[in-house]
């Protein structure tokens, strides 16, 4: 199984809503990532988890709150988002954060629209 799954596929929310994005992998990977991707742009790194601990936060606003409940799951909690936060949110995983040569496997993404 080399699949990263993400739910929901699409999400529309208002600026006062609270919602969560979910990501799951069963490849035994110990590094998991959240990326944000705007149309026609490359993915931008948001957060990195290694062995369920937050390793990198790329100065992401606090209205985005990541959580890694266990080695297979990664959540992104959303609260008080702005319309400019509308984007494709990608989850990825890799074996570990070491050596710089572990391929990242991406999920299909959640298309988020903030009204």
List 1, 16, 40, 62, residue binding other proteins (CB under 8 A):
40
* 109 sits in which H/E element: none
Identify any residues that bridge with 114 across adjacent strands, giving them in sequence order. Answer: 13
Should residue 74 be labelled a site residue for other proteins when binding is judged by CB under 8 A?
A: no
From the list 21, 43, 93, 114, which residue makes contact with other proteins (rule: CB under 8 A)? 43
Closest of 25, 39, 21 to residue 88, by C-alpha: 39
In whole angstroms, how close is the CB of 16 to other proteins at the nearest point? 28
Residue count at the site for other proteins (CB under 8 A)? 26
Closer residue to other proteins, CB minimum distance, 71 or 108: 108
Cα distance between residue 115 and residue 98, in whole Å: 39
Show contacts with other proteins in window 5-34 (CB under 8 A): 31
* CA nearest neighbour of 92 among 38, 30, 40: 30
Is residue 98 close enough to count as binding other proteins by CB under 8 A?
Answer: yes
């Amino acid at each position: 199984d080399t699949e990263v799954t993400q739910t929901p596929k699409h999400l529309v929310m208002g600026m006062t809503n609270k919602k969560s994005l979910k990501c799951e992998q069963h490849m035994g990977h110990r590094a998991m990532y959240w990326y944000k991707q705007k149309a026609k742009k490359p993915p931008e790194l948001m957060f990195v988890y290694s062995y369920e601990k937050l390793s990198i936060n790329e100065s992401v606003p606090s209205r985005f709150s990541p959580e890694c409940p266990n080695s297979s799951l990664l959540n992104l909690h959303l609260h008080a988002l702005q319309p400019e936060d509308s984007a494709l949110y990608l989850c990825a995983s890799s074996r570990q954060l070491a050596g710089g040569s572990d391929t990242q496997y991406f999920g299909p993404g959640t298309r988020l629209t903030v009204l």
